[in-house]
Amino acid sequence: MKKLLVGSLVFFTCLALFACNQGHDEDILDDEQVKYDIYDFYFINRAPVETEKHPLDELIKIYYSTKAVAIDVGNNELLEKPRFATNGVAIFEDPLPFDDKEGLIEILEKYQVQEWKEDYTTEDPDSYQDGYGWMMLLQFEDGTIERYKGSGSYKEDVVPENFDDFANDMETFKEEKIKEGLK
């Protein structure tokens, strides 16, 4: 009787462990099974990369890391202190109103950002400890993004021409829009 009781206990314990393991395996999802809202700033980095250039009047979002600029043009929102995460842009504050798409496009056209190389990276990030890195994402009405970036040991090697002027214009633009939004 004791052997039957121990045997039954072992059998049911194994059965329970097997069933728990099966349920756990079904809960693991890969990227193909997960559906992301690519129009949500938090998942912008998961959006598909464009296959052809879009006109800037179709721009709905921009994220620019150097001056922490994040503007949701489509929803008329400016994010004052965006943080970039693995999937996209994390938002920790209420957005401010934004209504100057034309002014933003004017800056992007002035510096011909759509003519920039996609990647200015000069070396493997594992080959240096300190350096400079930047990224800009432009998202369009169809959900696709244009991604521009650069990283390396020296800033001057990983940025397009007139990059500092562009960065300063973007920062000034952002600060002006923040002041307008706080009124």
Is the Cα dihedral 13, 16, 19, 25 positive or negative? Answer: negative
DSSP 124-167: -GGG-SS-EEEEEEEEETTS-EEEEEEEES-GGGSS-TTHHHHH
Q: pTM of this prediction?
A: 0.78
User: Amino acid identity of 71?
Assistant: I
**Res 26: pLDDT:** 44
Burial of 126 (0-12, 13-18, 19+ CB in 10 A): exposed
User: Amino acid identity of 81?
Assistant: K
DSSP 30-45: -TTTPPP-TTSGGGGG
**Do residues 76 and 99 make contact, with C-beta atoms less than 8 angstroms apart?**
yes
The domains of the chain are located at 1-34, 41-182
**Res 29: pLDDT:** 40
| pLDDT in single tens digits along all 183 residues of the chain | 666 555 566 565 665 656 655 544 444 444 554 577 888 989 998 999 999 999 999 999 999 998 889 999 999 999 988 988 888 888 888 999 999 999 999 999 999 999 999 999 988 767 667 788 899 999 999 999 999 999 998 899 999 999 999 999 999 999 999 988 776
